[in-house]
């Protein structure tokens, strides 16, 4: 996905530019960005790794140059041995599965429906993509009002009684899933539309002549061509859903009634109880899980592209 095939023409021109020897210009153009990224992203990443092997707390007043005690992998082994942590990872996995699954199905279905050419199609698509660029925490706040059991409209419109969607721990994970699906279905829809519009029309015409059924057209033409783009959507959504933080913060806040999602837990550990090193270790475990999941998807993606 991330490596574009090289255009021969550009390659040729680049060689001719190289002979002009503007290497100093290259540095001038590229280095500022690289330096900024190293300072703000790479340096903290390594710092975090070192912290995760120590017993530092940001509340301790350490002198500059005085290093916190290194305790090896104790933080990691404590996390892995903690059943509560496992519970949090499982809840997060459930969240990812439900929300991303829902988004993929609904988004692709919506894209198929909206394939139909009709007047006002552009307008409808624009209306549908609006939730996507809203701030997640504000979307959460908006839904908190909408869900409110006493005067919110959600229960009223669905004809439900006064169901508490926010502070009931057995339910509020699902209410966040609903909002996540609401917010990100347009993302999958938009990518699917882009994928569907790339299918050459003559394939369907040929299938029409062969009197292929709707289902076999879908299975043999539509799905294989859209598949890579659906995988891209899946990768993006999984990564985002796994580290979900702002949406639940807007809906439930991070109090005792909040669902046990891993990123929220990390904030509580690091900035409420100030176990900085322990939090860093959790962060690293999250990073490893995300990298593992996405590299599996990317493997599928590369296979699909061949």
Partner 1 sequence: MAEIVRKKKNITRYFVIFIIIVITIIYLMPFLYIIYTSFRPWTDILEYPPKIVFKPSIGSYIRIFTSRTVYPPGEKLTEEEMANLSWYERIVYNETNEEVIRIGDLPRRYLNSIIIGVASTAITIILGTICAYGFSRFKVRGKDDLLFFILSTRMLPPVVVVIPVFLMFRFLGLTDTHIGLIILYTAFNVSFAVWVLKGFIDEIPIEYEEAAMVDGYTRFQAFRMIVIPQAATGIAATAVFCFIFAWNEYAFAFLLSRKIAQTVPAWLPYQMGVLGYDWGAAAAGTILFLLPALIFTIILRKHLVRGITFGAIRK
Segment 198 to 227, residues that bind partner 1, using CB under 8 A: none
Q: Is 256 one of the binding residues for partner 1 (CB under 8 A)?
A: no
Size of the site for partner 1 (CB under 8 A): 99
CA 161 to each of CA 142, 155, 157, 177: distance values in angstroms, whole numbers, following the listed order: 20, 6, 10, 20
Q: Is 74 one of the binding residues for partner 1 (CB under 8 A)?
A: no
Nearer to partner 1, 191 or 258 (CB): 191
Residue 155: which of 137, 170, 175, 140 has the closest Cα?
A: 175
Torsion, Cα of 276, 281, 287, 292 (10° steps)? -170
CB of 158 vs partner 1, minimal distance in Å:
10
Binding to partner 1, residues 80-109 (CB under 8 A):
none
CB of 260 vs partner 1, minimal distance in Å:
15
**Span near partner 1 by CB under 8 A; candidates 66-74, 91-99, 152-160, 217-225:** 152-160
Q: Is 245 one of the binding residues for partner 1 (CB under 8 A)?
A: yes
Q: Is 231 one of the binding residues for partner 1 (CB under 8 A)?
A: no
Q: Which one among 101, 174, 196, 253 touches partner 1, defined by CB under 8 A?
A: 253
Q: Which one among 80, 90, 145, 160 touches partner 1, defined by CB under 8 A?
A: 145
In which residue are the tokens 């153009």 written? 29
Q: Which two tokens stand for residue 151?
A: 């005067």
Q: Which one among 36, 60, 206, 304 touches partner 1, defined by CB under 8 A?
A: 36
Cα 196 to Cα 113: distance, rounded to the nearest angstrom: 11
- Residues with Cβ within 8 Å of residue 279, at least 6 apart in sequence: 266, 269, 270, 271
In which residue are the tokens 């959790």 written? 282
Q: Which two tokens stand for residue 115?
A: 């394939």
Q: Is 129 one of the binding residues for partner 1 (CB under 8 A)?
A: yes
Cα 283 to Cα 150: distance, rounded to the nearest angstrom: 38
Q: Which one among 81, 113, 209, 292 touches partner 1, defined by CB under 8 A?
A: 113
Nearer to partner 1, 32 or 224 (CB): 32
Nearer to partner 1, 58 or 212 (CB): 58
CB of 94 vs partner 1, minimal distance in Å:
19
Residue 234: which of 115, 90, 99, 112 has the closest Cα?
A: 99
CA 25 to each of CA 13, 20, 29, 38: distance values in angstroms, whole numbers, following the listed order: 17, 11, 6, 20
């Amino acid at each position: 996905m991330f490596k574009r095939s090289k255009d021969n023409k550009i390659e040729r021109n680049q060689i001719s530019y190289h002979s002009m020897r503007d290497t100093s210009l290259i540095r001038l153009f590229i280095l500022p960005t690289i330096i900024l990224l190293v300072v703000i992203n790479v340096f903290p990443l390594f710092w975090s790794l070192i912290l995760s092997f120590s017993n530092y707390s940001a509340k301790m007043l350490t002198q500059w140059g005085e290093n916190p005690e290194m305790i090896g992998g104790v933080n990691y082994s404590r996390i892995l041995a903690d059943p509560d942590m496992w519970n949090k990872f499982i809840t997060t996995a459930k969240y990812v599965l439900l929300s991303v699954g829902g988004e993929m199905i609904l988004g692709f279905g919506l894209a198929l429906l909206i394939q139909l050419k009709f007047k006002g199609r552009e307008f409808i698509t624009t209306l549908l993509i609006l939730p996507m660029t809203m701030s997640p925490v504000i979307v959460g706040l908006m839904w908190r009002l909408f869900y409110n059991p006493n005067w919110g409209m959600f229960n009223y419109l669905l004809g439900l009684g006064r169901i508490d969607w926010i502070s009931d721990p057995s339910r509020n994970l699902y209410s966040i899933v609903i909002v996540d699906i609401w917010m990100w279905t347009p993302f999958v829809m938009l990518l699917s539309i882009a994928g569907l519009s790339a299918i050459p029309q003559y394939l369907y015409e040929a299938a029409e002549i062969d009197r292929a059924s709707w289902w076999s057209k879908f299975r043999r033409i539509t799905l294989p061509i859209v598949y890579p783009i659906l995988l891209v959507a899946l990768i993006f959504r999984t990564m985002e859903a796994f580290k979900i933080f702002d949406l639940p913060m807007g809906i439930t806040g991070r109090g005792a009634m909040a669902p046990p999602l891993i990123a929220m837990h990390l904030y509580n550990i690091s900035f409420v109880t100030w176990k900085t090193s322990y939090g860093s270790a959790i962060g690293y475990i999250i990073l490893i899980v995300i990298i593992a999941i996405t590299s599996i998807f990317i493997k599928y993606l590369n296979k699909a592209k061949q």
